[in-house]
Amino acid sequence: MVNNTVSKPSFWSRRLILGTTVAGAVIFFVVGIIFWGGFNTAMEATNTTEFCIGCHEMEDNVYQEYKPTIHYSNRTGVRAGCPDCHVPRPWIHKVVRKIQASKEVFSWLTGKLDTKEKFNEHRFTLAKSVWGAMKETDSRECRNCHNFESMNPEFQKPRARKQHLNAFETGQTCIDCHKGIAHHGVRDKLTDEELEALEAPNPDYIREVPQLYLEGLARVEAKEAAEKAQLKADAEAEKAKVQAQIKKAVAEATSNMTATPKSVAKAASNSAASNTSNINVDWSKANATDISVFYPGTASIEWILGRNHGGKRAFTKGDRCIECHGEEIADIGNSIASGESEKIEDPALIPGKRGSFDVTINAAHDAENLYLKFSWPETDHTPAPFIDGGKMDPANSMKLAFMLATDDVEYADRAGCWGTCHADVTGMPFVPENDVLMGSDLAKRLDFSKGLTKYVKESRTKLELKGRRGKALGGWDKLKDEGDIQAAVDSNKFMDIMRYKAGEGIVEDGYILAERQMHGGQGGEVSATLENGTWTVMVKRKLKSDKAGDVSIEAGTVYNFGFAIHDDYTNGRYHHVSFGYKLALDNDTAEINAAKL
């Protein structure tokens, strides 16, 4: 008798997918867990700063550069280690990065980077590789810790706010602006073509500006406006207090006229009552604004448009200088005047020269004239060490100039008079030698007797901005023909300038296009006094003129305005300058709003 009973397989022997038994699947699963856990443990063990600096090549070189930076030590105590900046967090990208790191291990094994000298030899190539990878991934490693959408502009400087807003709108990514933040920078070794390609906006990275950011922006702007208004009110109150004290002193001296004539004379000489100006304006009816001026060193329009200016992109996009730098004018001036600036070097510093000061501008008008009053504190004399006697212009302790332009002049809408300052004018780094100037064909058309004066882009066929192959910056020798120059005059493509020299009592009026030309124009009157340590310069200028090279001022139009002050007997580029501002008649949107008398 045959037994046809088939024995049932045990649980562990049951077949699953692809014929695998349960026992085999369990073993495979356990081994997989062990392998996976070991793999991940090994990968994470290599994902620490301690592992990264395990060799002296890293510990003695880039680690030492990283330690003084804010990513290593900061007020919040949050440290970003090597993996935070160089290893992605998403697992698949992390694995890819680890595989790529084998190339770096190979370089270590072969001694390619085993000394500081060898590392520095390859630093630029290594940096470009990192920059390129971060550009392609929208700075993914930066976003391990940072997030555009979580930024609060209330804790950022005005310049950072503006740049981050541009990043949202144009498609910028972190690495476009932030290179060399943890290690020695080598950005300057990039060619212009490489730099432009690397830092070009990517439309794929455009983000919608979060409501959180917009709300924070509104709050901080309102706060700063209130603080500015309070400072202005405090300054006006202090000024009124001083004037009241002066009037009281004059009144007391006058009451004792017969007894103390000398005290009367002294009181009168120290008071505003001694001003015998023919400019009779009730300044209490004028609008007042405070504007800071600063020492610019060798900064020029070419520098503004060049690779070393972080705000170049914002500027070319149309942003005004004061939008980024309005709250840091004093810091900029002080860093340049002291020689501590890392971006604008001045080869001829004046020790002790003040970096900035505040100027109060009162503005008013009647039917025929514009009235401006400039007031600022006098400074102690700081002799220029490269001039015999220390005074560049001994005849004039102070000179003041201001410029006006319509939007027809490129850059005037955002930079004011800075468009007239070039890297190749007299006193600047790329000024041509005098024999080159006088020996050129342009000597027949331009007046080089006092060197190369200011000019605007509209008079040149080209401006050299990049200095490739050793070319000098600027465009002095690229003058357009006379027909084009005349067409520019007819199209208001010039800067109207009015200048006053205190020592000589000279009032000059003219315009800047191909060069600075003083022609009389509206003429005008100027009165200047130095009393109680304060300069006061009052200007009377006709609103309208029919002479070429003059800007006529009309209601309903906003004009571009900039000014400069040469104090302490200085000359040329050693002045203090303003950024570009707006001037108008009875228009609250303009910083310099001339009130009707």
Cα–Cα distance, 434 to 368 (Å, whole number) = 43
Query: Which CATH architecture group holds 279-596?
Result: Sandwich (2.60)
Are the CB atoms for 116 and 60 separated by under 8 Å? yes
Average pLDDT, the chain: 86
**Strands (DSSP E) along 295-368, which ranges?**
356-365
Residue from 423, 510, 419, 432 nearest 459 by CA: 419
d(CA 291, CA 580): 10
How far apart are the C-alpha atoms of 172 and 166, rounded to whole Å?
7
d(CA 569, CA 381): 9
Mapped onto helix, strand or coil, the DSSP state of residue 505 is: coil
Closest by alpha carbon to 586, among 576, 577, 597?
597
- For the segment 415-455, what is each residue's pLDDT rounded down to a tens digit? 999 999 999 999 999 999 999 999 999 999 999 998 999 99
Q: Does the CA dihedral 145-150-156-159 come out positive or negative? A: positive
Tokens of 136: 């392609």
Place of tokens 């690779």: 307
- For the stretch 202-256, pLDDT in tens is 999 999 999 999 999 999 989 988 887 887 788 778 777 877 877 787 777 777 6
DSSP state, residue 483? H
> Which residue has better confidence, 2 or 246?
246
Give the pTM. Answer: 0.78
Q: Which fold has domain 45-209?
A: Multiheme cytochrome fold (1.10.3820)
Residue 257: pLDDT band (50, 70, 90) is: low
Query: In the structure, what pLDDT confidence band is assigned to residue 406 with cuts at 50, 70 and 90?
Result: very high
| C-alpha span between 174 and 181 (Å, rounded) | 11
Write down the domain spans for the chain.
45-209, 225-274, 279-596
Per DSSP, 278 falls in state: S
* Residue 47 reports pLDDT greater than 80: no
Burial of 336 (0-12, 13-18, 19+ CB in 10 A): buried
Chain segment 158-190, per-residue pLDDT in tens: 888 888 988 998 899 999 989 888 888 888 888
Which candidate, 482, 425, 432, 433, places its Cα nearest to that of 456? 425
Residue 417 backbone zone (phi > 0: left; psi -120 to 50: alpha; other: beta): alpha
